[in-house]
Chains A and B, each alone.
Chain A
Amino acid sequence: KVWMRHRYRSCLNRLQELLVHSSFEVKELALSTLMKFVQLEGAHPLEKPKWDGYYLFPRQLFKAVVEGLLSLEDDCSLLLARFREYLEHDDIRYHTMQAATDTVGRVTDRHPEVPLTFWNNAFTLLSSVSLPSQERGISSFYVKHGELPRTWKVVHLKEHRKAFQGMWLGFLKHKLPLSLCKKVLVVLHDSILPHLAQPSLMIDFLTRAYDVGGAISLLALNGLFILIHQHNLEYPDFYRKLYGLLDPSVFHVKYRARFFHLADLFLSSSHLPAYLVAAFAKRLSRLALTAPPEALLMVLPFICNLLRRHPACRVLVHRPLGSELDADPYDPEEEDPAKSQALESSLWELQALQRHYHPEVSQAASVINQALSVPEVSIAPLLELTAFDVFERDLKKKGQGSVPLEFIPAQGLLGRQDDFCAQHFTLS
């Protein structure tokens, strides 16, 4: 019997080594064999249960499997995709979470420089864990058992949540590479935060991410907002930081729609002080001077909505008794919206944009020429607008009558002599 045990052990060791084999088929087979062993060992434990109903799961074996999956060298995303099937079972999921927490902790302790592949693998594994939303959902087990005593931790969603939270917090407390940070933030708000036992514990990570700047700050906004909104988080200088986030790249990043959706949410409160809203409006319109047309079509109604929501800010577009100024009193370098003197300024930028080359933009900017209408314009349909959409819309629009033609005859490819092209380019 002892000999059998030894053979079994060595067989398991061989299989674990095979998990890092070069061929994917071998890896996959090794994984499925190991999982089969996990199942069998769970059903027929090597040791006798100490008392009746004692829950036995081959933790050691399973931990070794997870460790094999979270390889330091190879990218195991394919294998992890295969492993995802096992995660459907509640007990496997629970133990995976525990094992992953252990493994991450051990690896980071042991290595001062953790390679990127490990982080990627870990993230793939962690993000593929999805908890059920209801207690009743916990009923499918990989290792079959006769009866389910209530004392088992596996059958309680609360325990699952705890394990889940432990896993993520253990993962996120380390200094993650930026690309991974982005990935985490993208899924944070809808697949991680709702399942945490105590979401406010994420504040450390979010604050750190928010302070990084750039796109990561934008993404961290979403999580922060959920914490502030639903979990009563007090976050000092939130608006100041949001104001600091506004720089010209806002209109060019991939997450533009998300950012403006959130910004719209944050600024929707009518209890915000006028100076703050005015600073935002002024800043946005200043940035609009560098924005492409599709972003302008979104941000101009956004600014107008701000002015509509806060009648005190209407002085930005309507100041009948103001005297002429030498320069714009607004200070774009100032980081504190309170000191930016936006309320004393006017939105001359929108006036400039009325001369934008795209007719729709100039039309949108001309709204401020009249007194603003009362109902707000919904910017939801404009958030996802791309330049290609604008282009297609322009192409499809039909003018009445025939197409107007240039009446000065063309003379050559570079045009007339006073054209810029002809001045600066030659054909040969």
Chain B
Amino acid sequence: MGKAKSAAARTRGAGAPAGAQGGRARPNPNPFEVKVNRQKFPVLGRKARHAVGQPGVSRARAVHKRTQTLLKEYKERDKSNVFTDKRFGEYSSTMSPEEKMMKRFALEQQRQHEKKSIYNLNEDEELTHYGQSLADIEKHNDIVDSDSDTEERGTLSAELTAAHFGGGGGLLHKKTPQQQGEEGEKPRSRRELIEELIAKSKQEKRERQAQREGALELTEKLDQDWKEIQTLLTHRTPNSENRDKKERPKPDAYDMMVRELGFEMKAQPSNRMKSEEELAKEEQERLQQLEAARLRRMRGEDEGSEARKPKHLSADDLNDGFVLDKDDRRLLSYTDGKMSIEEEQSREASDGESEEEQGEDLSEEDPENSSDPDGHSDLESDMDSEEDCGRPNGEPRQALGKGTTSIGHRAQEAARNQLPYTFAAPESYEELKSLLSGRTREEQLVVVERIQTCNHPSLAVGNKAKLEKLFGFLLEYIGDLATDDPPNLRVIDKLVVQLYNLCQMFPDSASDSIKFVLRDAMHEMEGAIEARGRAAFPGLDVLVYLKIAGMLFPTSDLWHPVVTPALVCMSQLLTKCPILSLQDVVKGLFVCCVFLDYVSLSRRFIPELVNFLLGILYIASPNKCGRGYTLVHPFRASGKNSELLVVSDKEDKATWQRRGLSLHWAYGLKAQNKTEANHTRLSCLAVCLALVKGCAQFYSSLPSFYAIVRPLRALLMEHLAGCSHPPELQELCQSALANLEEPEPRCRPLVCAKSKPEPLKLFTPRLVKVLEFGRKQGSSKEEQERRRLIHKHKREFKGAVREIRRDNQFLARMQLSETLERDAERKRKVKQLFNSLATQEGEWKALKRKKFKK
């Protein structure tokens, strides 16, 4: 079958070589027409586009096309009249033939309507299908009728057609015998017949119309009825319920209960309650995770990179395997810290616990500390011993604290009862201030607490923003409290907890507000520095902000959006603010403490701190020889403030006792008498020495520790040499010096990390994406695109020129053939003429000869 077909195709192809479409669709062309472009050598993967060509076919196609277009044009070149097909949409390619037909029909109808409808009284024009109105068909009204109709109509149409198309008598005779009879009686003319037909059909039409109208009416009525019923049906359910309710206005309590129980959530099986130990364990695990995250941040690794390459070396890694040891150590020491904290909490919670327990706590801690594998333990024990020596002072303080807390509890209870239970969140700082001002410490605390609980973000939508604002207001309030005279530090102490809670809820906004206050402080200082080259120590509020920032955010991170600026701020305080009074000394020492607390976990190095402590030691040193150290900026080797902390009164020295410095000094508390001032000076020196010791412990692992503390050591020696300090201070000096003079670790020369060796050049082929074969590679994408376009343009141009040339050739050929044809015609005509003339001549001669013969 297939063979036969292909054979047929071939024959057809052979028969019609010039067929335009035939050439393309033919699978098996005539071998004599195929021209093969031989390739010189085959290239793998190259697609040969013009391997096989059919010149004959394509030439024929081109000629055909030209005869259709160019030749036509040529022939009509002198003709001005044009044939236009004015049928609707004849040349529009967008319309489908059906659409065209529809439109044409509509137009036709319109035309007729315009002309005739004026006289057409009884009928509206309507569309029909098989004579039936299309509207009716759409409505599907009377299906039963339509059947009978069709029969009738069929006959009618047959009659009609017969009449219209001149069926004459024969057809009618056969079809209807009745009519045959009538016709037989009275042979009517065709015209009459048609008129009769028309009348008949009209009558029938009228009847049908009446019938249809009746049916229509009936259906409409039915529809209406149905609608009524339907409305009844749809409204039925609510109606019925209403009725039910009317019947039963008060449902049974029991029923209610049953329903409620039915709808209530079934009790789900839940996890069992966790025991105390499990809870503690979970908490500890959580804390350990948090601690691990903190350590990671401290080393400056982010979580993603941690997951990908756990061996990542951080920026401050020393490349000596130091981190690994530290890891364990930190975790251990941390757990200790945590445990002690928990104990502290519990201790604070239960007031009635005795001090023996505390002692036990400490003794419990000690073995754990000593089990620490690193030098951290001696730090702890040092601190313990420090505490011990400070015990006589510390104890009364604690006792005092306890007393106040118990009193505070009572006061708090009272405050709780007195205050209203709901507070609107303050919209402005003034509002908060008016809420808090004039109240006692406990009341203020309760107010802030209640504002928080009343506006918990889970209660309403806008509460989040309100509480975020509250944080800023509280911060401002704290600043105000710190700058008050005297500063209300106890309230701040309590409010810090609230701040911490708020900060846990809204870290971003909290960090923004803290950044804002820090920026304010720095801006002020920068202005002063630009104007005068130095700045005064800022108020207590800035110091308090710095401390709070350290408590709200992790200070050990390598980089932190709040902590890093705070560190820079403190560095500025220590380097740019000259020490002019005792108050400045206290402030500076407080900043030093905060600074050291910031780096207490990460043990980062703070040059400014060492400088500042050196300066403080210098101004406290009675006999300076000035060898082995150099003071830097805020301190001057000579000047009116160079002996600010020197105490020369023997009696004051004897009566001095070591105790914590009061922050009120930082505010500008004036000493009552000289003795008190001198005592404060000695306390400052004590704090300074303790800080020196802390620094020494922190930095003893630094590679150039010896160079860092050299000036400090020189000054301490001077202090000791004087022997003018109270014995306690002398001891402190001694221990600090001992810490500073720890045997220097041996200096290992620095070695860079080995860089990866450069790989040798390999002879692997370079892989380039091939966009187009036969084109030059290696240029940029744009360049390639440009070249491709140029090439294309060139080819198109050539092609166009060729086409034009061929058109001209074709035309010339046509003209030539025309001329030849014309000439041949003329020749033929001339020949004919000659012929006729010759015949005439012949005839005439023959006649003449005849005549002559006669």
Contact = CB atoms under 8 A, between A and B. Distances in A.
B44 to A, nearest CB: 46
B153 interface: no
Contacts of A372: 752
A84 to B, nearest CB: 26
Interface in B746-762: 746-753, 755
B429 interface: no
A301 B149 CA distance: 106
B83 to A, nearest CB: 77
Contacts of A355: 316, 603-605, 702
Contacts of A402: 507-508
Nearest to A350: B750
Contacts of A362: 315-316, 558, 604
B744 interface: yes
A248 B543 CA distance: 27
Given A249-B630, A394-B568, A398-B561, A356 B604 contact: yes
A318 B750 contact: yes
B493 interface: yes
A386 to B, nearest CB: 8
Contact of A421 (B547, B610, B631): B547
Contacts of A322: 749
A415 B341 CA distance: 11
A415 B526 contact: no
Interface string B535-555: 000000000100110111111
B332 to A, nearest CB: 16
Interface stretch (A24-32, A72-80, A219-227, A363-371): A363-371
Interface string A223-242: 00000000000000000000
A133 interface: no
Question: A interface, by DSSP: helix, strand, loop or mixed?
Answer: loop
Interface string A408-428: 111111111111110111111
B749 A325 contact: yes
A85 to B, nearest CB: 29
Contacts of A381: none
Contacts of A247: 630
A288 B489 CA distance: 38
Contacts of A290: 607, 610-611, 632
B589 interface: yes
Interface residues of A, number: 87
Given A412-B493, A413-B489, A428-B662, A292 B690 contact: no
Question: B interface, by DSSP: helix, strand, loop or mixed?
Answer: helix
Q: Pick from A324, A354, A415, A424 the residue with the most CB of B within 10 Å.
A: A424
Interface residues of B, number: 115
Nearest to A390: B568
Nearest to A388: B526
Interface string B232-271: 0000000000000000000000000000000000000000
B344 interface: yes
Contacts of A347: 750
Given A252-B633, A423-B690, A387 B571 contact: yes
A426 B663 contact: yes
B416 interface: no
A406 B605 contact: no
B611 A406 contact: no
Contact of A424 (B318, B552, B660): B660
B663 A406 contact: no
B564 to A, nearest CB: 5
B568 A293 contact: yes
Given A252-B633, A368-B752, A358 B593 contact: no
Interface string B516-533: 001100100010010001
Contacts of A325: 746-749
A112 to B, nearest CB: 27
B605 A352 contact: yes
Interface in B9-28: none
Contacts of B663: 425-427
A404 interface: yes
Contacts of B599: 357
B363 interface: no
Contact of A251 (B553, B590, B632, B706): B632
A257 to B, nearest CB: 15
Contacts of B575: 252, 292, 387
A63 to B, nearest CB: 39
B560 interface: yes
B662 A370 contact: no
Contacts of A406: 500, 551-555
Contact of A352 (B507, B519, B572, B704): B704
B608 interface: yes
Contacts of B300: 359
Contacts of B337: 418
A124 to B, nearest CB: 21
A404 to B, nearest CB: 6
A328 B632 contact: no
Contacts of A421: 547, 590, 593-594, 597
Contact of B750 (A286, A291, A348, A388): A348
A371 B755 contact: yes
B632 A412 contact: no
Contact of A318 (B297, B702, B751): B751
Interface string B657-677: 001111110000000000000
A19 to B, nearest CB: 33
Contacts of A346: 747, 749-750
B490 A427 contact: yes
A261 interface: no
B397 to A, nearest CB: 7
B290 interface: yes
Q: Pick from B315, B494, B611, B694 the residue with the most CB of A within 10 Å.
A: B315
Given A249-B630, A292-B607, A420 B694 contact: yes
A399 to B, nearest CB: 5
B707 A409 contact: no
A387 B572 contact: yes
A327 interface: yes
B384 to A, nearest CB: 10
Interface in A297-341: 316-320, 322-328, 332
B110 interface: no
A46 interface: no
Contacts of B660: 423-426
Contacts of B744: 326-327
Interface in B721-761: 744, 746-753, 755
A254 interface: yes
Contacts of B691: 420, 424
A425 B593 contact: yes
Contacts of B473: none
Contacts of A324: 746-749
Given A252-B633, A391-B569, 11 more contacts: A288-B607, A289-B708, A328-B704, A346-B750, A362-B316, A397-B561, A407-B554, A419-B600, A420-B593, A425-B593, A426-B663
28 contacts: A252-B632, A253-B633, A286-B707, A289-B607, A319-B751, A320-B751, A325-B746, A327-B747, A351-B704, A352-B605, A354-B318, A355-B316, A355-B603, A357-B605, A359-B300, A395-B561, A404-B557, A405-B507, A406-B500, A407-B287, A407-B291, A408-B338, A412-B497, A415-B550, A419-B597, A420-B600, A424-B593, A425-B590
Pick the 6 closest A-B CB pairs, nearest first.
A322-B749, A252-B633, A319-B749, A357-B604, A410-B500, A348-B703
Interface of A: 247-249, 251-254, 286, 288-293, 296, 316-320, 322-328, 332, 346-349, 351-359, 362-363, 366, 368-372, 386-388, 390-392, 394-395, 397-400, 402-421, 423-428
